[in-house]
Amino acid sequence: MSGSAPADASAGALSVDVVPLGGLGEFGLNMMAISCGEATIVIDAGAMFPEPDLPGVDLIVPDLAYLEARRGQVKALVLTHGHEDHIGGVPYVLPLVSGPVYGTPLALALVEPKVEEHGVEHGPGYVPVKPRDVVTVGPFTLEFIRVTHSMPDCVAVAITTPQGVLLHTGDFKIDQTPLDGEAFDLPRFAQLGASGVLALLCDSTNVERRGFTGSEREVEDAFEEIFTATEGRLVVGTFSSSLYRLQILVDLATQFERKVAFVGRGMERNSQIAQKLGHLHLPTGVVIRDSDVPNFPAQDVLCLVTGAQGEPNAALSRIAINDHRHVRLGDRDRVVLSARAIPGNEKAIGRVMNHLARRGVDVITEADKHVHVSGHGSSEELKLLLSLVRPRYMIPIHGEFRQLARHARIAEVVTGGLPEPVTVLMAEDGDIVRFDAQGGRLHDKTPTGRVLIDSTRVGEVNDEVLRDRRHIAADGVVVPVVAINRQTGVVEGVPELLVRGFVTADDPDILGAAAAMLSEVIDGCGVEERTDPGLMQERVRTEVRRFLRKRTGRRPMVLPVVMEI
């Protein structure tokens, strides 16, 4: 079946360019530009968190050079759902968007605090949409279609262009028993397939998993066992945006007569937003503040916390080293990590688990019990969608190259018996995929890459600037050097601060005062924190930056060096 308009109808039509700016060949940074003539729309604006080898970097977003070059022509930003890898870059993209932001109410509500925090005002405004809504943006007609995922209010987008229909799935799995009763709109996907789809841009994240991804409800039995067997406090670490998971846990807490505390900034904020929009139902009297946790018997409390990926500043990491203000754990308490380890985070998660083990805490992961279900469709779901849509072209998106390649092979097998088998276009970030009267092909490349962000408002840090900042930048570089005994956690000698480009002439005593402050702070840390290089580096960096900003008003780049001896 042909997914494009007949040749005589499309011969004079404007060409359409599909340009992935992030999310192809990597997990995160999901962003797709679609251009036709003088109009461009952007699907999602994701971010990702940095690896440990990028000191001073708090966030990574895609290079926006393609959108910069089309400034004034970017007519809309469209959000498929509210996960960080799809909305984390919105504050950085908005200044380049001359039209409104379209998204479901939950996605827009999760974006709002990010935009406010960055002080970005967007005159064209925000337009909430719901499934089956249709909007027109320049030469594009956009239809939003319900899909199921690990959070509510997720949509795919069918984009009618002069060359045909482009169907962008967003993130999805086919959950036939969704917690909110809002089913995946398979009939609409089938209708689109029957009328003809030019290209399917399809999530590839879980293509390597056989069969079907389970429903969110599948974790209920495992958690019911855990609630039954836990004598002390129960702490569950999960993503604050996993609202279905939070609802299941709140319901079980109510059943087992436990109070629920949302611990961590993201958990508190997202639970409030979800409750306001009706996506999280909290029975009266169940929720308590984290500061009230010590006032209740351990067996009567459930803490829902951030930090399941081992982030040094997250609530779970502080709890693990006994450094949280309100939540302290010990024997008979239990921690459940209800999230899949993002590749690259395994070491940090392992450190948190080790610290918890020192507390005498029992730690449960998905390797022990079925406490996590992926939000992405497995191979059989991807096959089902291909069978329904039968596109003329397919562009695998969202995943590393091996996932995209596996998805391509599956597409060729599924459609191999059709009169017109699918043509797979293996694009990567920066490729310009052009659709015109001659069909679809990889046409050209546009500059792409990553922009490293320092959230202290110093601004963007590209690779060259990052190297420069290690030596000298606008406010200079300060390198605190701390030597710590690997076994005892004792600080060897006095911390030393090396500076480059940071002026100290007007305050000659500042480095000595900073070193003394640092010694005092480290002495006040527990042994476990001092023997954990990741946590110690973050503590040193935070304290030195705070001290120098308070004393001088400047914000030098702080690159802590923690040596284990």
Name 112's Cβ contacts closer than 8 Å, sequence gap at least 6.
126
Instruction: Tell me which of 265 and 56 has the higher pLDDT.
Output: 265
d(Cα 68, Cα 76) in Å, to the nearest integer?
14
Residues of the chain within CATH 3.10.20.580 domain(s) are 470-564
Residue 450 bridge partners (DSSP): 62
User: Which is catalytic among the residues 324, 376, 398, 407?
Assistant: 376
Q: Report CA 488 to chain centroid distance, whole Å.
A: 37
Which pLDDT value is given to residue 499?
83
Residue (of 433, 460, 473, 413) closest to 60 by Cα position: 460
Q: Which DSSP string do the residues of 118-160 spell out, in sequence order?
A: TT---TT-EEE--TT-EEEETTEEEEEEEEB-SSSSEEEEEEE
Which pair of tokens denotes residue 536?
């110690």
Q: 């950085």: which residue's tokens?
A: 92
- Report pLDDT for 6: 43
| Closest listed residue to residue 317, CA positions, set 349, 295, 289 | 349
pLDDT for 53: 59
Average confidence score pLDDT of the chain? 91
- Is 281 part of the annotated catalytic residue set? no
Please check the confidence at residue 417 and state whether its pLDDT lies above 90.
no
Q: Distance between CA atoms of 87 and 394, rounded to whole angstroms?
A: 24
Q: What percent of the chain has pLDDT over 70?
A: 93
Residue-wise pLDDT for 255-272, tens only, equals 999 999 999 999 999 999
Task: Name which of 482, 452, 447, 484 is nearest 470 in CA terms.
Answer: 452
Reply yes or no on domain 216-364 having CATH 3.40.1440.10. no
Predicted pLDDT of residue 535:
86
Burial pattern 327-345, b for ≥16 Cβ within 10 A else e, equals bebeeebbbbbbbbbbeeb
Q: Which residue has the tokens 């994240």?
A: 205
Counting residues of the chain whose pLDDT is more than 90, the rounded percentage is: 71
Numbered ranges of CATH 3.40.50.10710 in the chain: 216-364
Supply the DSSP symbol for 351. H
The arrangement of strands across the sheet holding 459-461 comes to 59-62, 450-454, 459-461
pLDDT score at 536: 87
Local structure of 508: helix, strand or coil: coil
Q: What are phi and psi of 254, to 5 degrees?
A: -65, -45
Q: What is the pLDDT of residue 225?
A: 97
Pull the structure tokens for residue 8. Answer: 């005589």
pLDDT per position as a tens digit, 456-504: 544 555 555 555 544 454 578 889 998 888 777 788 888 888 887 777 7
Confidence (pTM): 0.82
Q: Summarize pLDDT for 506-539 with one digit per residue, the tens.
A: 777 888 898 889 888 888 888 888 888 888 888 8
pLDDT exceeds cutoff 70 at 200: yes
User: What single-letter amino acid sits at 429?
Assistant: D
Please state which of the ranges 20-24, 58-62, 129-133, 225-229 shows the lowest mean pLDDT: 58-62
Q: What dihedral angle (degrees, nearest 10) is formed by the CA atoms of 287, 288, 289, 292? A: -170
Given 3-state DSSP classes, what are the helix, strand and coil percentages for the chain, each rounded to the nearest 5?
Answer: 30, 25, 45
Q: What is the pLDDT of residue 4?
A: 43
Query: Is the pLDDT assigned to residue 12 strictly greater than 90?
Result: no
> Could you give the residue range(s) of every CATH 3.60.15.10 domain in the chain?
15-211+374-451
Per the structure block, which two tokens stand in for 119?
A: 């002080």
CA-to-CA dists, residue 121 to 114, 382, 398, angstroms: 11, 39, 29
Query: Would you call 376 a catalytic residue per the annotation?
Result: yes
166: how many CB neighbours lie within 10 A of its CB? 28
pLDDT computed for residue 8 by the predictor:
45
| For residues 282-301, average pLDDT | 97
Of 171, 203, 429, 532, the catalytic one is: 203
Architecture of domain 470-564: Roll (3.10)
Q: What's the Cα-to-Cα distance from 417 to each of 329, 341, 413, rounded to whole Å? A: 59, 38, 8
**Helix (H, G, I), strand (E, B), or coil: what is residue 198?**
coil
Report the CATH fold assignment for 15-211+374-451. Answer: Metallo-beta-lactamase; Chain A (3.60.15)
pLDDT above 50: residue 133? yes
